[in-house]
Amino acid sequence: MNRSQLKRSRILKMAFTDSTRPGDKEEPFFMRATKIALVVTLYWFISISMVFLNNYLLDSKELDAPVFITFFQCVVSVGLCLLMSFLSSLCPGSVDFPSLKFDLRVSREILPLTIVFISMITFNNLCLKYVGVAFYTVGRSLSTVFNVILSYVVLKQTTSLYAVLCCGVILGGFWLGVDQEAVAGSLSWAGVVFGVIASLCVSLNAIFTKKVLPVVDGNIWKLSYYNNLNAIVLFLPLLIILGEVKSVFEFSRLTDLHFWGMMTLGGVFGFAIGYVTGLQIKFTSPLTHNVSGTAKSCAQTVLAVVYWASEKSTLWWTSNLMVLGGSFAYTWVKGMEMKKAPVPTETQSLNPQKNKEDLGV
């Protein structure tokens, strides 16, 4: 293994493992438990808030411009990356963030990932726009199934029978959920199709992320900077082709500070979800993070149903339980398999990135 590979492994290991050294004094259980509770709560708050906020922005009857909303959030992410890099140079001991300097070669090498990335976040938002928060978990539930399929087709990796059975439960929950939405008269086939494509893009994004991460020395923040910067450039012609530039200029609340405040907040949450995801994994573990994400999706669905005072059938709730139960079981099975056959540090470190994007989150 050469020096750059060793450096990359060390960076990833430091980012996603506990930083406590063997010689350090062990932290009291109560203090550690409190920190974990606070970190998990922060992750839940930011993740759920981001989904509800995006739904609010996308559900606007006056502004039908989902690509522009996504474009603006990418602009905010790039701005925050530059701000954090600047603060890090001013206060190197207080703010830990990589130095950012644009490199055309790096940008070009990351471009394939960016194409998948903009597809993922665009179809994510389109799914959320058409199906709402309550059905969003089910509508976007096939990313795990696509992970298994693509792992076999692209990486030639086989999956255990138990993991395949878990995917079968998820797939069954998805079809039952679609059926119950149709029975209730609230089914949007466009939203379902967008959700399936978004799930596929999430899986592709994980594969492409693994491929291009070495280009930025394994640094997730540098990857986020280049990814969002490339996305801004690629979104510009889309905004013109789809006629969203005209829609934005004709928007009656174009000078409304509240509207731009909510748009900016959505971008801040989108940037922050990457940080709190890594933080939750650092204080717990990748397996616990996946379990927390599944429980968060359940709470998110319940909150949406209660907030909009929706009446759902027993079979509708069953579909959600099948999706969440199948996802939890898949996480547990893969966790057991990883314990029996440890995988390289770099591969383990990429799993959190996939969960960050799953999601809406």
**What residues contact residue 133 under an 8 Å CB cut-off, 6+ apart?**
51, 52, 55, 300, 301, 303, 304
Average pLDDT over every residue of 134-148: 92
**What residues contact residue 115 under an 8 Å CB cut-off, 6+ apart?**
234
Please state, in angstroms and rounded to a whole number, the distance separating the CA atoms of residues 192 and 149: 19
Please state, in angstroms and rounded to a whole number, the distance separating the CA atoms of residues 152 and 169: 19
Reported as a single tens digit per residue, the pLDDT across 225-264 is 999 999 999 999 999 999 999 999 999 899 999 999 999 9
Q: How high is the pLDDT of residue 285?
A: 78
Please state, in angstroms and rounded to a whole number, the distance separating the CA atoms of residues 78 and 90: 19
pLDDT band at 109 (very low <50, low <70, confident <90, very high): very high
How far is CA 320 from each of CA 5, 221, 290, 293, 306, rounded to the nearest angstrom? 42, 33, 17, 14, 15
Q: Are the C-beta atoms of 349 and 129 separated by less than 8 Å?
A: no
Average pLDDT over every residue of 111-135: 93
